[in-house]
Structure 1
Amino acid sequence: MSLLFRILFASYGLRNENHPRESRRYCAIIWLSKRTISEGLQEAFAKYGKVDHARVVTDRVSGYSKGYGFVRYTTLEDAEAGIKGMDGQFLDEWVIFAEYAKPRPPPPSMQNNNAVPGYGNYNSPTYGRQ
């Protein structure tokens, strides 16, 4: 369940979030093997175009892949070819899935954190009543 949660909310920190076309150069890759490394990811996706950067997200303690990563291509056309070429293919003996990465959502504000009942909502009209 936690892997599925991480995959659904995994995103790459896009620098050009105001340019939706620009963000289409970024690919999110899911269901990677624990043995997959960034160099292997880059090598596999480079068959479909010029890769600017590839990164496998790893566990800080074990160093193994967490099961997902990101690839950034030079052009939109290369990114499209990479997704079409690698989606559903084997990499390190695992079937992987590739899609366009989605921009990271903005962090929640401190005001929203106080709006949850039971979690420090001191502004509530019922706070302190028994």
Structure 2
Amino acid sequence: MALRTLITRRLLSTSVFSSQFGAAVSNLNAAGSAASDKPAPVPSDTLFVSGLNKRTTSEKLQEAFAKFGEVVHAKVVTDRNTGFSKGFGFVKYATLEEASKGIEGMDAKFLDGWVIFAEYARPRPPLGQTGPQDPYAQRR
């Protein structure tokens, strides 16, 4: 983060850059500091992949991620009624090391013409502990 701040200050010190891109860089720095406030993801052997092309199949997803390790299972989530992709899916690797290599290799890369994002999947909450469905339930 210190290097980013140093580069930003250096760039903003030039009047041409400052007049054209100063606000955008300031917004970028604010977003960067907010992103660092998030807790670190818990490593998992399952990856959540978002930004998938609507035509990407589970087979294509498995083939793309298999370059980085043994893929146990890959699934593109589809709409129950239409059968069309919802634009995200899951990839399960045999080990945590392979999963981290999969993230490094495929995060922010192109698949079927679209930029996809890969991150560790968050575990599902236990049944019965999903929280209230009514946003005002805690106020009553």
State TM-score, norm by structure 2. Answer: 0.61
Could you tell me how far apart the structure 2 residues matched to 1:101 and 1:68 are? Answer: 12
The corresponding residue for 1:97 is: 117
**Partner of residue 52 from structure 2, selected from 17, 32, 49:** 32
Shift of 1:116: 2.1
| Structure-1 residue corresponding to 2:74 | 54
Partner of 1:10: none
Per-residue CA deviations over 1:29-56 (Å, capped at 9, x if unaligned) read: 0011110111110000000000000000
> When you count helix as a share of all residues, which structure comes out higher?
2
1:68 alignment counterpart:
88
Structure number with greater CO (CA < 8 Å, separation at least 6) is 1
**1:79 and 1:116, CA in 2 relative to 1: closer, same or farther beyond 3 A?**
same
Amino acid at match of 2:137: V
Unaligned segments of structure 1, at least 5 residues:
1-20, 118-123, 125-130
2:8 is aligned to none
C-alpha displacement of 1:107 = 4.2
1:93 Cα shift? 0.6
| Cα drift, residue 105 of structure 1 | 1.8
Count the aligned residue pairs: 98
Question: What is the deviation of 1:61?
Answer: 2.3
- Name stretches of at least 5 consecutive residues in structure 2 with no aligned partner: 1-41
Which residue in 2 is equivalent to 1:116? 137
Distance 1:46 1:113 in 2: 38
